[in-house]
Structure 1
């Protein structure tokens, strides 16, 4: 039995449930997490559900043959693995990004420091580390001393299913203004204010600045207000459009499809689902060259733009103009990565590898 430790608030959770239900033996999979609407998740795929606040959690940690930790966030699980290191031999840590970049967080609480120390002690003993990119694999080795076998990870996204993506009108019909989106969430690693400063030279142009600020970490509403206020101070309230309401996957894709330009000034691996969706929508996308994502997308055959280019532009046309062939190549590269068959193969390889090694 595979025990999946995956929270309900992950953007991947529901689609991952559906994929397992449709393409794998769901009797082999049980989920451990906080699921406020347990009935809804059971209906999605019929897999077993164990609430992480339940006293059954230790039982399932022992009963399972394999444990897949989808993001090392659950403090109860980290503590359990630290105190019972013999459980680590059946673990696969799927690195989400935020679970390792917390290492660089300033002013960490004492609790955060303690659990980071625990993670550094258990990471070298975990036999499998799954990552979205080669860059994250190198970081988890350097920062946490990981020594296990590196496997690939990829999740299906609700807004990237083939039928929905193919139905998009990517023509970007003539509009009365240019729509620019900055970042993916109300987290400081988006570096919103720096990105807004880059666009300051275009404040008198006919543009709208869209700010997705509908989720984040901790007291993210305070950060969202700070970013919104700063944007308004530069561009005026009539040009700033903060997104504060939650949208369904389909609604969010339509929202992204209305954008002409995407600025992702994130200083770490983050917003990859949003970036993928923006490329599929045919937008011109800018990211930082100094993150793992730059080489990751290049490796996939997707050529995004260096966000530092913006400071050298002398017109709004330079900001939005995209080579037609480059756009089509990027869409093709990203479409190939969203193929459900590829995602099934990636997870089948992970499951089979863990089973085969256990049988040796």
Structure 2
């Protein structure tokens, strides 16, 4: 029997339908909710997890929650199965099919919340310059003002939404648990002997990392012992290919592209073996990597306008599980009261 068919009919507060992409962040988010059933009763949440035909990561298990793996049009099921008192949380507003659907269903949009995901907000200035992306941006400008509740980790992201899209939504501070095994960072693992430094560049295969600018600066060092590591396990395939080609052209065998997701403990070992990180985003991004590097007393370089972490201990305390639970509970409460 399909998980959707086992879903309870309707609770006192209705059901929260989560339209979300498959990623390590999704796994940690689902686990957070599942670990706190007193705040997030399983019967009040359903997950529609988009893996996509080329998905590099699959959640696989959603704990006590009913969940369905869907394709790019799978979100339609969430809206069709939504009862009168149900709401939808859109985790990242990037799917053009979803934008098109919402643009033609404004009354449905008013039953939604938008949870900002990564550089989600900054599509308006980072979108590719091909013919279809201006149309996608026009859909965003039509849809976003109708969404009554918006959450993000950084208040500045919400302020950007207000100024660019004219949103009057209620803001809720909520954030996704960072998929980093911090305990592994504190282990005294053996570090293989090396002749030079290892530098981590970027956190994904998204153009906002601006890898080429960093690579060309590092290439000027003319140090044959420097190793360059770039996580590229998700993002734009064409962009990833261009990053790999440039990295190999400039650094040869000293360039290590990470094109597959690593288990949390293995990624933590990688961080332990890194000497410095360069995050060239022009907005807050890669917070998990930044915190991990700072925890170990290593250097992190960020672009000046970016909102970043300055004190690892303070940021980790702010991003505690207790605060994460409170944030999502506040979001769901605000959404239930929005309409």
TM range (shorter): 0.7 to 0.9
Does structure 2 conserve the Cα–Cα contact (< 8 Å) formed by 1:62 and 1:87? no
Q: CA 1:203–1:169 in 2, change beyond 3 Å: closer, same or farther?
A: farther
Q: CA 1:63–1:356 in 2, change beyond 3 Å: closer, same or farther?
A: closer
The equivalences for 1:59-208 within 5 A come to 59-61=80-82, 65-105=86-126, 107-160=128-181, 163-165=183-185, 167-169=186-188, 176-204=195-223, 206-208=225-227
Secondary structure of the 2:94 match is coil
Q: CA 1:74–1:107 in 2, change beyond 3 Å: closer, same or farther?
A: closer
Q: CA 1:287–1:251 in 2, change beyond 3 Å: closer, same or farther?
A: same
Q: CA 1:132–1:4 in 2, change beyond 3 Å: closer, same or farther?
A: same
- Structure number with greater CO (CA < 8 Å, separation at least 6) is 2
Secondary structure of the 1:56 match is helix
Q: CA 1:114–1:70 in 2, change beyond 3 Å: closer, same or farther?
A: same
Provide the residue aligned with 1:333 in structure 2.
314
Q: CA 1:205–1:221 in 2, change beyond 3 Å: closer, same or farther?
A: closer
Provide the residue aligned with 2:30 in structure 1.
17
Deviates more, 1:331-340 or 1:115-124: 331-340
Q: CA-atom RMSD, angstroms?
A: 2.8
2:235 is the alignment partner of 1:216: yes
Task: State the 1:171 CA deviation.
Answer: 11
Q: CA 1:80–1:42 in 2, change beyond 3 Å: closer, same or farther?
A: same
Task: State the 1:113 CA deviation.
Answer: 2.0
- For 1:139-170, what per-residue CA distance to the aligned partner results, in whole angstroms no more than 9, with x for missing partners? 11122111111111211123145x445x4349
- For 1:198-243, what per-residue CA distance to the aligned partner results, in whole angstroms no more than 9, with x for missing partners? 33453236422222233321423422333313432xxxx3433332
Alignment TM-score, normalising by the size of structure 1: 0.78
Distance 1:261 1:282 in 2: 10
Number of equivalences: 315
Task: State the 1:28 CA deviation.
Answer: 0.6
Residue from 316, 322, 334 that aligns with 1:353: 334
| Gapped regions of structure 1 (runs ≥ 5) | 303-329
Distance 2:132 2:64 in 1: 36
Structure showing the higher helix proportion among its residues: 1
Residue from 66, 91, 95 that aligns with 1:48: 66
- For 1:293-347, what per-residue CA distance to the aligned partner results, in whole angstroms no more than 9, with x for missing partners? 24xx3xxxx2xxxxxxxxxxxxxxxxxxxxxxxxxxx331232134211111111
Secondary structure of the 1:266 match is coil
Q: CA 1:243–1:175 in 2, change beyond 3 Å: closer, same or farther?
A: same
- For 1:76-129, what per-residue CA distance to the aligned partner results, in whole angstroms no more than 9, with x for missing partners? 322222111011222111122433322123653333222211111121121111
| Gapped regions of structure 2 (runs ≥ 5) | 1-14
Does structure 1 conserve the Cα–Cα contact (< 8 Å) formed by 2:115 and 2:150? yes
